[in-house]
């Protein structure tokens, strides 16, 4: 299959991006280097081409009820232009995808993972009741993320509208370089920042305006995108959860609202809640010089209790970090964990929540 | 980028021959593909190695990979500077970023390594 190119492809190559195949797209793995890019986002700002992400619009009479039925979080709680992190489950309670839902005036915009667009769109289309329209806007939509403590200021400098006052998980329409965009205060890095959606045909002008600003963000590849999200303990669908794991097992109970109407997979989650889950995704931190990698065994004493699903070197913390599924009985602070680092069982510390927390603004 | 006075393995190690001593490192192509190298673990001096067997590991941000002995022999020296600061591999892959010196058992094995032009072909340089 021929790889798709995003509207920014040529610009990324020109910036020195080392291009790889990812989710059917030709995407940059890195520019200056993963560590350097990672730290740029933590200290200043980085720009990411995330046009490979999928965008699906759900509209029509009953759209709100249908999105609520598709997802685990409470869509009814959303204000106009508010954004919500949520999950879409199969009938067995497994995570088909994790996604953002934007409540807009005339539709709900669902932003999904690139590798899952076809599966998601199929699932949403097949179950749509009469009068509800499901449209896949992925090909005609470009997305740019600008992330880091300096990100909002940099975008605000080239934006006709005031995006600097945008609250967390809020969105607004805004014009950049004469192009109409949807801008939200969201991201996948654990930093402050914005995600900007616009039509693929005019997206280049938006990118150029941001990159020509006085102080401009550093281009960031998929490598640093992954290390940034892992430090924030954000789950990656396909690695840390999939259609065989429930959001309760994946530690996403906070986006599951069991008392707010019916949703696909709810029965299974109610049962899991009553009986307890068998495994749980936890965070582990290792000070060893060998780093935890996906597939490595997690031990407690003489017992293998789980397996690493995401892991590697954390550039901001300068140590190894991992997400791992372990038997639920062991998923607690008092457990002494070891990770089998290629034959060396090495102590690892249980970490609740994000490994990296951004400093409070002064 | 690929120096003319070295030999290369298909696993992206380079070899510099001086008598029966082979100095070994990884190529610029390899370090670039691996991304930022955070930690290098090498077998200590005195270790006997056989051609193509692992003699160390390279931990990059994204992944870990084995480093292979391009020739059979005994490791006689390890570059401690690389262990202390692996960034030297990026800044000087063919110079200060060398990793081990191997006293070769069978210099005839050098014939199985790639000449610079073959290695350039392999990496599409």
The residues spanned by each domain of chain A are: 9-53+139-230, 54-136, 237-351
Per-residue pLDDT, averaged over A18-29, amounts to 96
Query: How far does the CA of residue A112 sit from the closest CA of chain B (Å)?
Result: 24
A290 vs B59: CB contact, 8 Å cut-off? Answer: yes
- B125 pLDDT tier (thresholds 50, 70, 90): confident
pLDDT higher than threshold 80 for residue A212: yes
Q: What is the dihedral of CA A256, A257, A258, A260, to 10 degrees?
A: -150
Q: How far apart are CA B104 and CA A75, in angstroms?
A: 69
- A2 pLDDT tier (thresholds 50, 70, 90): confident
Q: Which residues of B touch A33 (CB under 8 A)?
A: 35-36, 90
Of the residues A17, A18, A32, A33, the best mutation for testing chain B's interface (the one with the most B CB atoms within 10 Å of its CB) is A33
CATH class of A54-136: alpha beta
pLDDT higher than threshold 80 for residue A230: yes
Residue A50 DSSP class: -
Of the residues B34, B36, B59, B86, the best mutation for testing chain A's interface (the one with the most A CB atoms within 10 Å of its CB) is B36
pLDDT of residue B62: 86
Structural domains present in chain B: 7-109 (2.40.50.100)
Q: Which residues of B touch A296 (CB under 8 A)?
A: none
pLDDT tens for A242-292 read 999 999 999 999 999 999 789 999 999 999 999 999 999 999 999 999 999
**Among residues of chain A, what percentage have pLDDT more than 90?**
96
3-class SS string, A88-147: EECCCCCEEEEEEEEECCCCEEEEECHHHHHHHHHHHHHHCCCCEEEEECCCCEEEEEEE
Per-residue pLDDT, averaged over A305-312, amounts to 98
Tell me, yes or no, if B32 comes closer than 8 A to chain A by beta carbon: yes
Q: How far apart are CA A230 and CA A293, in angstroms?
A: 12
Per-residue pLDDT, averaged over A71-98, amounts to 98
Per-residue pLDDT, averaged over A141-159, amounts to 97
Question: Rounded mean pLDDT of chain B?
Answer: 95
CATH class of A237-351: mainly beta
pLDDT tens for B67-124 read 999 999 999 999 999 999 999 999 999 999 999 999 999 999 999 999 999 999 999 8
The radius of gyration of chain A from alpha carbons, rounded to an integer in Å, stands at 20
Alpha-carbon distance values, B4 to A168, A326, B1, B24, B115 (Å):
56, 52, 9, 15, 8
pLDDT of residue A362: 57
pLDDT higher than threshold 80 for residue A29: yes
Q: How far apart are CA B5 and CA B20, in angstroms?
A: 16
- A361 pLDDT tier (thresholds 50, 70, 90): low
Per-residue pLDDT, averaged over A163-175, amounts to 98
ipTM, 2 dp:
0.85
A9-53+139-230 falls under which CATH superfamily? Probable tRNA modification gtpase trme; domain 1 (3.30.1360.120)
Alpha-carbon distance values, B45 to A121, A218, B56, B73, B80 (Å):
58, 42, 12, 11, 11
């Amino acid at each position: 299959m021929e790889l798709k190119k995003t509207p920014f492809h040529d610009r990324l190559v020109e910036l020195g991006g080392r291009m790889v195949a990812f989710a059917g797209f030709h995407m940059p793995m890195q520019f200056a280097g993963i560590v350097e890019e990672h730290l740029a986002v933590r200290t200043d700002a980085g720009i990411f081409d995330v046009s490979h992400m999928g965008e699906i619009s759900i509209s029509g009479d009953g759209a709100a009820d249908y999105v609520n039925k598709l997802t685990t979080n409470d869509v009814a709680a959303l204000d106009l232009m508010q954004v919500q992190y949520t999950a879409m489950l199969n009938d067995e309670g497994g995570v088909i995808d994790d996604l953002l839902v934007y409540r807009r005036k005339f539709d709900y915009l669902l932003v999904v993972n690139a590798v899952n667009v076809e599966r998601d769109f199929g699932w949403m289309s097949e179950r749509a009741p009469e009068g509800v329209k499901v449209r896949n806007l992925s090909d005609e939509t470009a997305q740019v993320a600008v992330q880091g403590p300096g990100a909002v200021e940099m975008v605000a400098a080239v934006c006709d509208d005031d995006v600097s006052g945008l609250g967390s998980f809020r969105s607004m329409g805004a014009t950049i370089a004469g192009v109409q965009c949807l801008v939200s205060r969201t991201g996948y890095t654990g930093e402050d920042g914005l995600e900007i959606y616009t039509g693929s045909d005019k997206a280049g002008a938006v990118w150029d305006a941001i990159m020509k600003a006085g102080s401009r963000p550093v281009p960031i590849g998929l490598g640093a995108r992954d290390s940034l999200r892992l430090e924030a303990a954000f789950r990656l669908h396909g690695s840390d959860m999939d259609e065989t794991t429930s959001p309760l097992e994946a530690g996403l109970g906070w986006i599951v609202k069991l008392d707010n109407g019916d949703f696909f997979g709810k029965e299974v989650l109610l049962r899991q809640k009553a009986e307890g889950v068998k495994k749980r995704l936890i965070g582990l931190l290792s000070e060893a010089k060998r780093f935890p990698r996906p597939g490595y065994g997690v031990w407690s004493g003489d017992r293998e209790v789980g397996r690493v699903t995401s892991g590697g070197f954390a550039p901001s913390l300068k140590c190894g970090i991992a997400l791992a599924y372990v038997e639920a009985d062991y998923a607690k602070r008092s457990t002494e964990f070891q990770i089998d680092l290629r034959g060396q069982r090495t102590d690892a510390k249980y970490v609740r929540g994000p490994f990296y927390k951004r400093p409070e603004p002064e | 980028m690929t120096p003319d006075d070295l030999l290369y393995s298909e696993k992206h190690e380079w070899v510099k021959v001086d008598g029966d001593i082979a100095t070994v490192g990884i190529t610029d192509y390899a370090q670039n593909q691996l991304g930022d190298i955070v930690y290098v673990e090498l077998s200590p001096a005195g270790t006997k190695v056989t051609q193509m067997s692992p003699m160390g590991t390279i931990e990059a941000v994204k992944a870990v990979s084995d480093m292979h002995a391009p020739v059979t022999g005994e490791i006689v020296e390890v570059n401690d500077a690389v262990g202390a600061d692996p960034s030297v591999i990026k800044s000087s892959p063919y110079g200060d970023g060398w990793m081990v010196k191997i006293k070769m058992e069978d210099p005839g094995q050098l014939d199985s390594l790639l000449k610079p032009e073959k290695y350039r072909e392999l990496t599409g340089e």
